[in-house]
Amino acid sequence: MTVESTAARGKPRRPAAKRTAGKRQQPEPGPKPEMVQLLTPEGERVEHPDYALETTPEQLRELYRDMVLTRRFDAEATALQRQGELGLWPSLLGQEAAQIGSGRALRETDYVFPTYREHGVAWCRGVDPTKLLGMFRGVNHGGWDPASNNFHLYTIVIGSQALHATGYAMGVVKDGADVAVVAYFGDGASSQGDVAEAFTFAAVYNAPVVFFCQNNQWAISEPTERQTRVPLYQRAQGYGFPGVRVDGNDVLAVLAVTRAAAEHARTGQGPMLVEAFTYRMGAHTTSDDPTRYRRKEELEVWEAKDPLLRLRRLMERENAADDAFFTDLDAESDALARRVREAIRTMPDPDGMAMFEHTYADGHTLVDEERAQYGAYVASFADHHEGD
Amino acid sequence: MAAEKMALAKALNSSLRKALETDPKVLVMGEDVGRLGGVFRITDGLQKDFGEDRVIDTPLAESGIIGTAIGLALRGYRPVTEIQFDGFVFPAYDQIVTQLAKMHARSLGTVKLPVVIRIPYGGGIGAVEHHSESPEALFAHVAGLKIVTPADPADAYWMLQQAIQCDDPVIFFEPKARYWDKGEVDPAGIPGPLHAAKVVRAGGDLTLAAYGPTVKTALAAAAAAAEEDGTSIEVIDLRSVSPIDFDTLQRSVEKTGRLVVAHEAPVFFGSGAEVAARITERCFYHLQAPVLRVGGFHAPYPPARLEEEYLPGLDRVLDCVDRALAY
Ligand SMILES: Cc1ncc(C[n+]2csc(CCOP(=O)(O)OP(=O)(O)O)c2C)c(N)n1
Ligand SMILES: [Mg+2]
C-alpha cells in the first residue's frame, strides 16, 4: 500500500484539458458514409447503380410474410418471458429487414454463424422457431443440430463466431466448394479482438465469408461511438476487402447487397463486410431497462423507418397484395403464436443426469465416476421415500 | 457515514464511491459501467458524480480493458475494472496471466500493477450460458495474482477497499447470487486483514470451509445439522482463495478432526483440492476422516433448469458432511 492518495496530501490533480472521448464533437474522419437504399421509409422504390434488384409481387409478399411472422414470434417470446416461461429473451424488434433480407439472400448450401439475436435468420434457414426457446428457458444450451439447416448454434460470447465462420470458410476453399459463409455480429462485437483477427484471417486466406454486422446503434447501454470513430463498414478497407453500408431497415437493399456479397464469396473473390444500419427498437434483453441510457426521441426517429411499414407501403403502392393476403397473414401469425405457447407449455425439463452426457465424444473416466456417484446420491432419496 | 444495513451490491457501490473520493488515481472501467451503472448496478451513479474521466465506459473488448488497465497502472493510476460476467473474462485471460501477473517479477519489483478485476461469479440466478461460472481456480493457479471473494456486505465493502489499496493485481470475485442479501456495514469500523479466513460459526464436530456464495449454504447446513442431529459444525469463510489462510483452517481442524470444503466450481483441480492436500499434510494425525469436497461436476455449467442439481446446495453439503462424519 505504498501509493498514497494525492487527495489525502491535499492536492488533487486533474488533467489540464478535459478531453474525454465522450464529449468530443469532431466530425467522423474519412469519406462521408454512403448507404445503399432501394426502398425509402415512405415506401418508394429507388435505384442504386451497383445493386439492381428486380422483384415480383410474390417476392414482396413472401418477404413481408417472413418479417411479420418473425416479429410476431419475437413478440410472443417476449411475452412468454414476462409470464415466467423464459428466463431471458433478446428481442430482434426493428432488425427484421436486416435479418430476413440477408437470410433470404442465401442458398441452402451456404452456412450461417449467428449471435444470440438472429431469430429472423433462423426462420429463413428453416429452424423451427420453438427450438430457439430452449436455451432461453434454461432446458439446453442450443437445441438444434447446426448441420441440419447449416445454421450454427447461437453464440453468446461476443465475437467468437466470426473466427469460426472464417475457419469454416477456409475449409470451403480447401474443398473447392461453392459456398458462402455468413458471420453475424453486432456493432459492439466489432471491438473484440476475435472479430479483428477474423478479418485478418479471412483477408489473408481469401476466405468466402460475408461479415454481416448489424449496427443497431447500441451495445447494451453503449452507443456505437463508444466502439468506433469511423463508420464500421470502412474498417474493411484496412484489411483489404470491400465494405458496404446498407440501410438495414430496407429489406430489398439488404437482400440485394447480401446476394452480391455472397456471390462475391462464392466466386472466389474473398470476404466482404456488410454493415446493416438498423436500430434495436426494444431493450437489449428482457433484463435491460433502456430508459436509463437512451431518449424517447431517438426511438421515434427510428419508428418512422420501420422495416415492415415501408414494405407494406410499397406493396400497397404497387397493388402487390389484396386484402385477403393480409387477413390470412394475421391468422397465420395468430396460429404461430399459439403454436409457440403450446410448445413452451409442453417443453419437458431435462433430467438431472443429462448433466453428465456429451461432455466428451470419447468418454472420460472422471465423468463416469461422478455420474455413478450422483446417481447413487439421487437414488438414496428415492429409497428414503419408500422407507417413509 | 454511520453504520447502515445494506445489500451487498450497495456495499460495493459505496466502497467504489469511497475509493473514487479518497484517491484521484482510482478509475472505474468496464462495459456499461457508466450511464447504465453496470448490468448489476454496482457502479450506479458513479459516472454522474465522478465524470467520464474516471468512470469509463469501455469498448466491448475484455482484453482491451485489462491490457489498457495495465498501461494506466504503469502511468500511476489504480484501475478498478469490471468484467460483466464470469464467462466473459476469457478474452482477457492472456493479458491477466501472461502480463498482469508477471510484470512485477519481471521488473525485479520495480513495477507495481495495482489493478483490481471485479467479476460477478457463481450460479443460482437462472441465467443463460456463461453467466454462472466459478473460474477462480483457473486464476489461483497463476502466481502473481491475488484472489478474494466476500460473502457478506461488510466484507464486500472492506475487502474492496483493501483490494484497491493493494499494490498487487487482485481478482475480486463477487457472489452475484448474494448481491441482494443485506447486512450491517460500518464504514468507520476497522477491517481485519484482506486474506484472513474467518470463523463464522463455532463448532466442534466438523469444519466446513466455504467462500463467496457457498458461505450462506454452509451456515444453513450447520444450522440444519445442529437442529436435526445435534452435530456441531464450525463454518469457516475462507474469504481469500489466493493466498489461502491455512493457519485458521489448521486450528479448526486440529479441534474437529474433520473437514469438508464446499465451492460451486468443479471439484476436479478446484481450490478444495489444494485445501485438502495442505490440510492433510498439516493435520494428518488429527484427521478422523479424509478431507471431502462438495461442488460442481466435471461438466459444463448446465442449463438453468439443472443448476440446482449441479450446485452444492443444502442437501448435497449435508450429504457430504454425513459422509465425513461416518468415518
Ligand atoms: C465477451 C463478452 N463480453 C461481454 C458480454 C456481455 N454482453 C452481451 S451482449 C453485449 C452487447 C453486444 O452488443 P452488440 O455486439 O452491438 O450486439 P447487440 O446486442 O446490439 O445485438 C454484451 C456486452 C458477452 N456476451 N460476451
Ligand atoms: Mg448492437
Fold of A3-345: Rossmann fold (3.40.50)
- Rounded mean pLDDT of chain A? 92
Closest to B78 in 3D by CA, of A208, A135, A347, A3? A3
Task: Give the Cα-Cα-Cα angle B184, B186, B191 (nearest 5 degrees).
Answer: 110
Integer-rounded Cα radius of gyration of chain B: 19
Grid look-up 482463495 returns B241
A186 lines ligand 1 (CB under 6 A): yes
- 8 Å CB contact of B53 and A18: yes
Closest to A279 in 3D by CA, of A297, A262, A261, A257? A297
Closest Cα to atom 13 of ligand 1: A219
Grid look-up 474516471 returns B54
Rounded to the nearest angstrom, the distance between the alpha carbon of A278 and the centre of ligand 2 is 9
pLDDT band at A31 (very low <50, low <70, confident <90, very high): low
A218 lines ligand 1 (CB under 6 A): yes
Integer-rounded Cα radius of gyration of chain A: 24
Cα–Cα distances (Å) from B209 to A173, A362, A377, B255, in that order, read 55, 35, 22, 14
pLDDT band at A44 (very low <50, low <70, confident <90, very high): very high
A354 lines ligand 1 (CB under 6 A): no
Cα–Cα distances (Å) from B227 to A113, B233, B327, in that order, read 54, 11, 21
Q: Enumerate the β-bridge partners of residue A272.
A: A210
pLDDT band at A9 (very low <50, low <70, confident <90, very high): very low
- 8 Å CB contact of B305 and A141: no
Distance of CA A154 to the CA centre of its chain: 9
pLDDT band at A382 (very low <50, low <70, confident <90, very high): confident
Q: What homologous superfamily does CATH list for B4-185?
A: Thiamin diphosphate (ThDP)-binding fold, Pyr/PP domains (3.40.50.970)
Would you call A104 a catalytic residue per the annotation? no
Tens of pLDDT, residues A273-315: 999 999 999 999 999 999 999 999 999 999 999 999 999 999 9
Question: Closest residue of A to B30, CA-based?
Answer: A222
Torsion sign, CA atoms B62, B64, B70, B73: negative
Q: Enumerate the β-bridge partners of residue B29.
A: B56, B81
CATH of B198-326, one of 3.30.300.10, 1.10.10.10, 3.40.50.2300, 3.40.50.920: 3.40.50.920
What are the residue ranges spanned by the domains of chain A? 3-345, 354-387
- 8 Å CB contact of A352 and B306: yes
Grid look-up 485438502 returns B276
- 8 Å CB contact of B300 and A88: no
Q: How far is A42 from chain B (nearest CA, A)?
A: 35
- 8 Å CB contact of A138 and B304: yes
Q: How far is B278 from chain A (nearest CA, A)?
A: 23
pLDDT for the residue A6 = 34
Closest Cα to atom 19 of ligand 1: A219
pLDDT for the residue A32 = 66
pLDDT for the residue B2 = 82
| Residue in B32, B63, B88 closest to A193 by CB | B63
Q: Which residues 327-356 on chain A approach chain B with CB closer than 8 angstroms?
A: 349-350, 352, 354-356
Q: Is the interface score ipTM higher than 0.95?
A: yes
- For a pocket test of ligand 1, which of A220, A225, A278, A288 has the largest count of ligand atoms closer than 8 A to its C-beta? A220
Tell me which of A125, A280, A310, A312 is the catalytic residue: A280
Ligand closest to the CA atom of residue B38: 1
User: pTM for this one?
Assistant: 0.95
Helix (H) or strand (E) holding B12: helix B8-22
What is the block-wise mean pLDDT of chain B (327 residues), using blocks of 10 residues?
Answer: 92 98 98 98 98 98 98 98 98 98 98 98 98 98 98 98 98 98 94 97 98 98 97 98 98 98 98 98 98 98 97 98 97
A222 lines ligand 1 (CB under 6 A): no
Tens of pLDDT, residues A99-156: 999 999 999 999 999 999 999 999 999 999 999 999 999 999 998 999 999 999 999 9
pLDDT for the residue A13 = 38
pLDDT for the residue A8 = 36
Q: Which residues 208-237 on chain A approach chain B with CB closer than 8 angstroms?
A: 219-222, 226-227
**CA within 13 Å, CB half, B142:** 24
Tell me which of B131, B195, B263, B286 is the catalytic residue: B131
A61 has pLDDT over 90: yes
Q: Best interface-test mutation with B: which of A23, A221, A358, A367 has the largest number of B CBs within 10 A? A: A221
